[in-house]
Amino acid sequence: MRLFMKQRGGVFLLLLILLFSYACEKETQDNPILTFEDEKAIGEKLATILKTDEDYRVLKNIGQNEELYTHLRNLLRSLVNTNIVSANSEQKGKFDWQVYVIANDSKQSVITLPGGQIFIYTGLLKFIENESQLLGVLAHEIGYTDRTHAKTEAALSPIISLIKSQLLSGGDGTRRLLEIVTEDDIELAKQFIISAESIAFNNEIVMNSDIKATEMLCGFAWSPEGLRNILSRIKRQNIPNFDWLITRPPTIPNELETRIGKLEDLTTSCNGNPENTFSIRYTEKVLNNLP
């Protein structure tokens, strides 16, 4: 059963956009294969499918979840509204940044979809100890989605990178994109969602996102050390195969220690107060409202 009615005009318009882009020899910053509108449309469709998939069990914004979602979205909005997120006001206005919660305590990870759609597992929320750490995770994910810091297309969200690689390599990439956005191919869309959880970034991309996240947090009322504290805790407890780090794997010896050290150097020059972790409020607004 399809989720939405087909819009023939929309299909034709998107097809024209894709055919024009596909005719280009390669992607450039001035002539991207996927526009902001494309990314947002794909992200919204994938998010809709994910929210209705029983395997993921995304919490609905009703009952006690309303307080949870209100607080999470206020925190996300605080990050998105900083000048650090993007110097490109066009992206700020066209991406509809949203955060959702997946009820799964066994997974400590995040799914970041194109266009600013972020899904965070309850397993990671329960591992996080305070608001500053949550902001560190959200800021890091925003760093991947924000395109101004990226020197390569891989710095975009994993699904966009996958779609672009298919478009650039020929084959049925255009058909696949059209099916996801306009034809409601549910199973194909779920494959892209699964890919978003498994595609790994290289060290340069990860470090750039760390830097971006710290820049966002500097000057806030919250402690800028949240991201560093999460990584330090994982290292200190020697947690193997931590889900959130699987897609950000160290490819050189002691890479986790290197990330922690660089984050420490960055946070020492921040204006934020390390004492402002807001752990009590995190317990009240987030942890107490989780299933």
pLDDT along the chain (291 residues), means of 10: 29 33 40 66 84 91 92 92 62 76 94 88 96 94 64 45 55 55 67 71 79 84 90 88 70 73 87 86 96 94
- In this prediction, residue 284 carries a pLDDT of 96
- Summarised one tens digit per residue, pLDDT across range 188-202 is 777 777 776 766 667
- In this prediction, residue 84 carries a pLDDT of 67
- In this prediction, residue 100 carries a pLDDT of 97
- In this prediction, residue 246 carries a pLDDT of 67
Percent of residues in the chain assigned helix, strand, coil, to nearest 5: 60, 5, 35
Task: Supply the DSSP symbol for 179.
Answer: I
- Summarised one tens digit per residue, pLDDT across range 162-218 is 555 555 554 455 555 555 555 566 777 777 777 767 666 677 778 888 888 888 888
- In this prediction, residue 268 carries a pLDDT of 84
- In this prediction, residue 173 carries a pLDDT of 53
- In this prediction, residue 230 carries a pLDDT of 92
Q: Where are the beta strands (DSSP E) in the chain?
A: 98-102, 110-113, 117-121
Query: What's the CA gap between 126 and 164, in Å, rounded?
Result: 34
Phi-psi bin for 219: left (phi > 0), alpha (psi -120 to 50), beta?
A: left
Query: What's the CA gap between 251 and 206, in Å, rounded?
Result: 11
